[in-house]
Amino acid sequence: MVGAGRNLWLHAESGLKTERYRKGRARADGVLVPVGGLKGRGEWSDADGDLMAVEVTSYDADTHQRDRVEKPDGYAAAGIPVHLLIDRDDCSVVVFDQPEDGRYRHAEKVPFGAAVKLPDPVNITLDTEPLKEFVD
């Protein structure tokens, strides 16, 4: 993935130290970093240098609390600048940014099919149309 003239890589299933989330560890569905950004960081790494955490809602009883409440707060507390939540239940994408005091100050929600601007430091416009194919 290339954005704003930079080479970026989305790592799947990355372990992050997020002290405000459950036992201090969160496994993000994806973490966007500059190419090589996770090299040598181990299974559970600090969020230093991470540009964005990505979550896709699960189809289980805990998804609301885990994916929509606790993980956004945990990622904000860890200082991750952007959090992208792909919500399969209502076919929407929520972009969280401006982390401050353990919460994101700003969130923008758009339906699948809309283009959404991922703010700095990601600085990419994401076409969400293809997400329609992955909803049951």
More confident call, 14 vs 136: 14
pTM for this structure?
0.85
Pairwise CA distance, residues 69 & 25, whole Å: 15
pLDDT in tens, 11-59: 777 766 676 656 667 778 888 988 765 555 555 566 677 899 999 998 8
pLDDT in tens, 100-128: 998 999 999 999 999 999 999 999 999 99
Fold for the domain defined by 2-134: tt1808, chain A (3.90.1570)
Distances 19 to 25, 76, 78, 100, 133 between C-alpha atoms, Å:
7, 11, 7, 15, 35
- pLDDT band with cut points at 50, 70 and 90 for residue 2: very low
